[in-house]
Amino acid sequence: MQKSGAALARFALEQLGISHTFGIPGVHNTELYDELNASPSITPVLVGHECGAAFMADAISRTSQQVGTLVIVPAAGVTHAASGIGEAGLDGIPMLIISGGIHSASGRHYQLHDMDQHSLLKPMTKAQFKITQHKDVIPTLYEAYRIATGDEPGPVFVELPYNIGNFLGEVDELPLFQAKSCAAVLPHAALAEAAKRLLAARRPGLFVGWGALGASAALEQLADTLEAPVCTTLQGLSSFPASHPLHTGMGFGAYAVPAAENAFADCDCLLAIGTRFAEIPTGSYSMPVPAELIHLDINPQVFNANFPATLTLCGDAKALVPALLREVEQQLVAKPQRGLAAQIARDKLAYVESWLNHNSGTRVNPAHFCQTLRAQLNDSAIVAADDGNHTFILAELMPILGPRQFISPSDFNAMGYCIPACIGAKLANPQRQVVGVVGDGALRMTGLELLTASSLKLGVVLFVFNDGELSQIAQAQEIPYNRKTCSGLPSMDLAALAKACQCEFVAIDNNQNCTSGIQQALALAAQNKPVLVDVAIDYSKRTRFTEGVVKATLKRFTPRDKLRVISRALWRRVTG
């Protein structure tokens, strides 16, 4: 039979359950966009910029069982999307990237902007494919999907050249997708040894990342059985509910909230699950990891990379954590009684009160905002954050209650994530509340995707923490140098931006109108209207994370360089 490569790609994507694609059409994929537009199950979404498309696809994967999919033009489309692809690659998020491509025949080039897309994306993706025959279109996309979702997930790039995608070719059949499943091989001896070490420890603790997402229920039982405190990575905030009495917060050590620092102070055996011990969740590698480290992860390459492990368990946490729980229960003689839950509750309350008692003047106190927002959101709401000071405000002060309910850029630190991510999350979860918190700096990067949200009639709320500077880097500059460089932002009329993007607008100027402002924004969003909320946030109080990371970084300076930096800061403090 004669089929265009575009028709074959559409068939494959329909079989894979893809609901939305994101990108901007060009001459190299016009046929594919025409096919997608005719699909009864796939909606192609026109974005403002391919970087936003990648963040939308990322959020589809983070908040649902679907795989986010890009359909982009070659060259500039690929480079524009690269930040979102890199974020997904480092964070372990599955993604399909389908690009047009280059084809030469009879010495003639079908496009002018020649570049090696595969070499560009190789460090960010799990695999790259270039389709050269029509018969390979469907099998290649099926294999790309398997790779993207298998083992540690990640992005996979598929180049569909112009001559394959837009022209007809002969194929024998349209094969249906068949998922390949294999029974997990459980390392029983290692699991028994891990259980033995956890039970022998005086103060065991759990450190949980995004890779533990599928094991949340077993993790809660394991924490209860061991009476062990649980801290998370930034992404891992979605893997363990903040409502659990043994949840302490993000990370542990001097950069973490007091509940985590105190609960893990004497930790003599750490069980790390689904984390690579990256820079942010370890407080710039200042986390005081004990000598006894049991590391469980699906990717063996993460073992011993940043902290040495005494025991490693390689496999999917979804299978290994319940198996480990059974081993612990079989070996358990008497359940520990450490009284940790009461201590954690007291420390959490005291920390929130320290923020609420901070004088924010006429601006909005971050803790007051987080408490008010949490009280008005449904328990199933999805919260997206961008990269910046507000990220760590939310990590410390905004309780996340269930799986896939908090999404944020993490290891790649890509600003501009939040607004497009809210669009992707809402498309994947139309019945759930979706709200985002974005800094006024990140807003400048992808703010025009608000027009995408309004064109799709998506009821999302974007809270802009508006303070007039890049506050996270400004604080990182101010602490050691007593000076800020290139961190101030020109004033922006957010009401005008909202009007231009056909969004509703709400202003929250102080604590007093915080409740009514959030209530109004959520009510408008319930009417399928995107809402931009200008929050006059007060950043005068620093997070534990910011202070701890700056101190940890300074400790790495040589004595001479440390003296130079401190002397400069003191001199500027005296002279102004």
pLDDT of residue 110: 46
List the strands of the sheet with 269-273, edge to edge.
247-250, 230-232, 204-208, 269-273, 293-297, 311-314
Judge: domain 2-170, CATH 3.40.50.970: yes
SS3 173: coil
Query: Could you give the residue range(s) of every CATH 3.40.50.970 domain in the chain?
Result: 2-170, 360-545
Residue range 435-449, pLDDT digits in tens: 999 999 999 999 999
Report residue 424 as tokens. 């992707």
pTM: 0.94
- DSSP assignment string, 381-445: -EEEE-SSHHHHHHHHHS---STT-EE---SS--TT-HHHHHHHHHHH-TTS-EEEEEEHHHHHH
Of the candidates 99, 117, 111, 125, which has an alpha carbon nearest to the alpha carbon of residue 9? Answer: 99
Report residue 290 as tokens. 């004990």
Residues shown for the chain = 576
pLDDT of residue 555: 74
pLDDT of residue 550: 75
- DSSP assignment string, 250-282: E--STTS-HHHHHHTTT--EEEEES----TTTT
What's the fold here for domain 360-545? Answer: Rossmann fold (3.40.50)
pLDDT of residue 182: 66
What's the fold here for domain 188-343? Answer: Rossmann fold (3.40.50)
pLDDT of residue 105: 52
The residue ranges of the chain whose pLDDT is under 70 are 103-114, 182-184, 481, 486, 561-563, 565-566, 568-576
**Tokens 């265009």, residue located:** 4
